[in-house]
Amino acid sequence: MRHSSDIPLQPYTVTAAEVVPGDLLALSEQDAAENTWYVVMHTVPENPETIRMIVRPPLGGGDHDEFLARSQQVTVAGHRMDVAAVPLATSSDLGAADLRDGDRVTSLRAVDPRAVEETYVRRWGRWYRDLDNPAERPLTDAGLRELAERAAGRDHLVRHHPRPQQPARVATPRRVVVTGLGAITPLGVGVTELWQGLVEGRCGIRELEGEEFADLPVRVAGTVPVDPVGLLPRPQARRMNRAAQFGVLAAREAWQDAGFDAAGTTGSGLAPERVGVSVGAILGDASVLVGGDRALRDKGPRAVSPLTTPMTVPSQAASQISLDLRITGEARTVTSACASGTEAIGQAIDRIRYGRVDVALAGGAEAVVTPAIMAAFASMRALSNHGVGEVSPSRPFSRDRDGFVNGEGAGFLVLEAEEHARARGARVYCEAAGWGLSADAHHMAAPDPSGNGVALALRRALEDADAHAVDVVHVNAHATATAEGDLAEAAAVRAVLGGGVPVTALKGHLGHLQGAAGGVEAVATVLTLHRGVIPPTIGGTEEDPEIGLDVVRTAPRPLTPVGDLALSNSFGFGGHNAVLALRRVA
């Protein structure tokens, strides 16, 4: 039988005696006008004046008899169907059905040969026609049963399709989980300081001291309040740039938080070649190169340190982490502007999924609070002119936002193949469920105001996580507090998820940590899922009404139990967009 939309309908009037099996029959002109048709399955003469016709809806259903006078005028559709291809079916009894998430219920107006089947899917105890339409109002089980009962009484065929059992598949990508967290940020050293500062609404942005900053038009930044040199053995610290020092400290914390030995891979009983490092960085630490150039100008070539080159490259953090923990599987560096940390985590997820490594330290490290970088950002008019006070100078989604605040730090996750983590009895924070990338292709610095590129990255992250918009319970926004950037991100979130998903933005607490932002904000998003609490957004006194999002402000908010996915967004100069999808585990 051809698809229902291909069936030509050219109604005309005949007598009942002229009707033959296979005809599409309307019993009245009104039925024909309302597209209520039946297939004549059999005709049986009852007596010289009457014919009994056994009819069935053309798209499937039960049979019933119609008794017509031979001379009675009826309407046929000018199309004859194969009666053997019309299914004999009955509607499912939903009143007695055990309904579970993943089940489908379909409703088809079987008397209309051109009807399109309507499908409802059960997710989080509610029924949706479109899991990715945030504006849809879902049905309860009782609401769906009532709808199905009404539909079945209007010549609809209602069928219940229980959730299919998933057969075992060969070469399925491995599930990846988060087992360790580490961070060093403007709120302090360690994940505990980070989390407490976020939920308490503390601001780590401070005035820059020192004569090298004295003449700058902007002198506030999110700086780490502790000198990392004092937290490392001096011979080791002097061979690292500041970003690498941050990276090693945060990676060590994450490593030990995951239950591994401080001595590294061998001390933890791991094969070093089955462990990897993936670090996001833009510049790493520009001050080393600037210092080398100053020494060259002031004192000549012999004054330039032989450590200048290895300490200048953005890959130094990844190199030093691998040295510190004896990791030989791989040490990769991702440079994609402010999306670097999130992309580094995404790449590590795939390396574990497809068996290249079993464990990975992934995140970002950056230290670019230097006079030259500050001056460059100020020249772009990208920095906030608000000073340090009772309200953070970084004001995401606020009406009075006027630019970002530069920052520094590092944040790392320990990612692990689930079977590897379960085998050693590791504590699992959440699943690293997927990620998405896109590019704006719009401008070398400004975001695409439509938000289309960001929306594409959001959709790809959902798809990679095998998820839908209705699963999302929280978004950790990139929200740098620039006028255009916040609007573009808000437009994308509304387009993909609607305006009702709770959103928080952390740059009021931290400033913008550049390549490290994605790593630190991923740590915060993991803890949001694990602890069931959304930290508040700080900065600003009045939300921009054009944002149109449910921005969590003033105080922490409990995470809703309906849904299981949180998204962490990172977007960078040049149109780099990266989104990480994390899933709550039971």
Residues with a known catalytic role: 338, 478, 512
Residue type, 283: L
3 state SS for 484-539: HHHHHHHHHHHHHHCCCCEEEECHHHHCECHHHHHHHHHHHHHHHHHHCEECCECC
Q: Do 94 and 160 contact (CB within 8 A), yes or no?
A: yes
CB 514 within 8 A of CB 282: yes
Other Cβ atoms closer than 10 A to 425: 7
Q: What is the helix, strand, coil percentage profile of the chain, to 5?
A: 30, 30, 40
Main-chain phi, psi angles of 461, to 5 degrees: -65, -40
Tokens of 225: 């309040």
**Tokens standing for residue 184:** 């060093």
- To which H or E segment does residue 415 belong? strand 408-417
Closest to 29 measured CA to CA, from 90, 74, 85: 74
Give the three-class secondary structure for 227: coil
Contact 573, 520 (CB under 8 A): no
Give me the residue label for tokens 């998933």: 166
Element (H, E) at 148: helix 141-152
Distance CA 391, CA 387 (A): 9
Half-sphere exposure of 453 (CA within 13 A, CB side): 22
